[in-house]
A and B are shown apart, each in its own frame.
Chain A
């Protein structure tokens, strides 16, 4: 072992992450192999100052959780939606295992209703991280007769993806699915454990959760059961944005103010595109907007904003008076919409 290199002081550039092993893919299959350009993802990191205060603690907590997953489970995966929270999780996973490679694949449950920007960004990130990407699509579930499309003009596939996800868990025998959910997002999520047990049907039993003490995570389970693991449970929306800024993490352009055609429906601004059509009586306006969360085009609301860089977004988030999921049509269905969906195995 070359000691002089390993102990070479504070310059991250001297650290042994230049060793190229993390790009090596041991098992082939239908997955997209990462291109050998790890440098691209980490170049920006070298200029990031060491973290301090609460972000340093939150990062250490998340990295600890990710390493527990890698150690306690055989076939974990990181659920990747293309949203900022899952991008941060992927970034944390890279930091947790560097200079080794991330020891689990990313899994994207593709509703087929994505923003085109999301998919382009996903492929670019996967290639930079040199990580495996698995995609399972709701369209396949529909074609196989596992689920039925909602009989709506612009059907939401939000509920349908639970079936696709649980089928993927069974097919790939996934024992831990890591997600980017945060407790501050929603009142049912405020009750989540870091290691959240799911029974053989993928169901969550919120009234009877395992006690979770100190940072001792119990990942033991029966064969057909699995866990959902949430490394960034304790982060708030503002923490996420501050962290993205400090670490110079790249994001899809949707998060920054841009002009696009939108229609106002039930008080929510929806982007007109392949999956959202103008309805009679609605007017389409071209507006300067951005997105606070990114889900399907059919249920993610845009909001009017001129915040075009991270500093402006942080300012906007710090003074926001509406929650980030306030623009999510999927949460508005009932008072316990999230709890009900989570019980059935939703993300």
Chain B
């Protein structure tokens, strides 16, 4: 069973508590004595009906005032998934608590009251969700029963939200019309809204792709603690304990310790009592190295050829969380003569001061404003200097190494949450007007959100007429591994069966759609992003989409995966020994790459990250093209996507 952490925000008026109460109640996560206690409490204060908000508002002050002040965590599970719900307040004076709840969420439910439309509070929550890079957003249009389950009203709200969301950096938005009170589209499909063909809320929560926010590529192990043990048989154990925050590592791989910069190889990977060959992001491990290196808490183990940024000046978005306003030092020579803060990032804690505040963002209008300081619950962008260098990635790429908090050394309170954008830049580069003109980098494109124009003919309708399901088949592998060959053979078979197909090929899109991109890592990411978007369009039109791309980076493939519902995106790893690929070399590319004529050539001068959990592995050096095409066809039939198979 896997685990989804999601957040909700809003006030009692939006029906937030009713929604959570409904989710808990319908999935049987509320117990009889809890319900009884809530009934008694409601009756005692003379409420006309049972107030489910009393289930989540656990503090006396919250129940007295009928508002949510602090995050409450709730737990529920279905046979498919365990859910951790961070129920956060929506009022502006508790923004810091909303940020706390959202910081660990992988999905955010934004509640909109169908009668009132998109209010400030929904916008604020959306903005914070985009700021914290929550990968999935669900806009739950609630109280549909009070607008007579009107589709027109629903579409109005969707259009309103979409116009607003265009200004945000959100990737995946799903709209669901619900009535939390009556249970419409919560667990089962609503009889009152036959015009809605999408998933119910619970179904979406159960199937949405998790791990989209996880970085499986860049190995980072911030050291928490050094474990020593002196044993009998001359065995001096010295292991470095920490949680792998991104990427993966295996025994024998070369690593470098920062800040010392000394290299060694991994001698052992331990998870509790278990010695393992490899470990992945999320695992709490102890790593031993082949060489004696001085490493202590706050240091970081990374790969030699994949280093984080290192700098003592950073450019960051800050959310201020203290009653005491932020102290801005100004660009003076000695930044530490006045107020300074502790900055805690990964396991490192260093002294820091805010040199410059570039602007404040009005959370409700998202306008950038000139400001001298940040007050409680305000958000802005600033330049920070630290006494010792930090090792970081931008928050966009890596939430774990791109986030930090500021601590007031006098009160010891956590006064700010920070998200690193980049190394510090000169103030002249950062005036708001120029910021507007900045060309969006591939991963941060503001319009990359996938917001759908309502369609007259939906995918389920097309699938029914076509007589087969839609899917995205993503063939990944080295150049010359046989991706296109297998895909072509499969497409001919599908065509013969009357299945609607759509092909996207690496070379072909590079001639047109993506002719402006080179082969660096950033351009490859953008190449895959565009292709994935096109694939999604074709998928939504009921096709089986065959994509053949080297797509060497796991993160890019994961990003593509998030665009389709679970079970619809198949990663097909076309596996072939690189030496055989070189022998085949159908386009003579390996030969040219080895002569140095082609830079960044995967398998020669650029890395290929093998899929960890592909849906299928196609070994072209061991099976014939026909066999492999038939294997895929059989699997599609078994999955019920194309006719045939067991059913």
Contacts and interface: CB of A to CB of B under 8 A. Distances in A.
A220 B60 CA distance: 28
B70 A191 contact: yes
Interface in B40-95: 41, 55-56, 58-61, 63, 69-75, 77, 82, 84
Contacts of A273: none
Interface in B416-448: 417
Contacts of A30: none
A50 B277 CA distance: 13
Contacts of B404: 216
Contacts of B72: 187, 190-191
Nearest to A42: B273
Contact of B236 (A1, A10, A326): A1
B635 interface: no
A340 to B, nearest CB: 8
A155 interface: no
Interface in B337-357: 342, 344-345, 347
Given A191-B58, A211-B414, A213-B103, A16 B229 contact: yes
B230 A190 contact: no
Contacts of A189: 58
A95 B403 contact: no
Interface string B396-425: 000110011101000011100100000000
Given A15-B274, A53-B2, A218-B405, A211 B243 contact: no
Contact of A99 (B97, B225, B227, B252): B227
B104 interface: yes
B488 interface: no
Interface in B207-256: 224-225, 227-239, 241-243, 251-252
B284 A9 contact: no
B598 to A, nearest CB: 37
B58 A214 contact: no
Nearest to B266: A7
A323 B31 contact: yes
Interface in A239-274: 239
Contacts of A57: 3, 282
B220 to A, nearest CB: 13
Contact of B33 (A188, A214, A323): A323
Nearest to A62: B284
A335 B290 contact: no
A283 interface: no
B284 A97 contact: no
Contacts of B400: 214-215
Nearest to A195: B414
Interface residues of B, number: 84
Given A2-B234, A18-B231, A322-B32, A207 B241 contact: no
Nearest to B417: A213
Given A21-B229, A70-B225, A206-B59, A7 B414 contact: no
Instruction: With a 10 A CB-CB cut-off, give which of A8, A99, A214 has the most chain B CB atoms.
Output: A214
A343 to B, nearest CB: 10
Interface stretch (A134-142, A146-154, A167-175, A230-238): A230-238
Given A6-B268, A67-B242, A71-B224, A191 B59 contact: yes
Nearest to A97: B227
A339 B284 contact: no
A60 B283 contact: yes
B100 interface: yes
Interface in B314-341: 321
The 4 closest A-B pairs by CB, nearest first: A19-B231, A187-B58, A95-B272, A6-B268
27 contacts: A6-B275, A7-B252, A7-B275, A8-B275, A16-B229, A16-B237, A19-B230, A19-B231, A20-B231, A21-B230, A56-B282, A56-B283, A59-B284, A60-B282, A63-B272, A67-B242, A97-B241, A98-B227, A98-B272, A99-B229, A207-B61, A218-B412, A218-B414, A220-B407, A320-B31, A326-B31, A339-B59
Interface of A: 1-3, 5-12, 14-22, 42, 45-46, 48, 50, 53-54, 56-61, 63-64, 67-68, 70-71, 95-101, 183-184, 186-191, 206-207, 209-216, 218, 220-222, 233-234, 236, 238-239, 320-323, 326, 335-336, 339
Interface of B: 1-3, 31-34, 37, 41, 55-56, 58-61, 63, 69-75, 77, 82, 84, 96-97, 99-100, 103-104, 224-225, 227-239, 241-243, 251-252, 267-268, 270-277, 282-284, 288, 290, 292, 297, 321, 342, 344-345, 347, 399-400, 403-405, 407, 412-414, 417
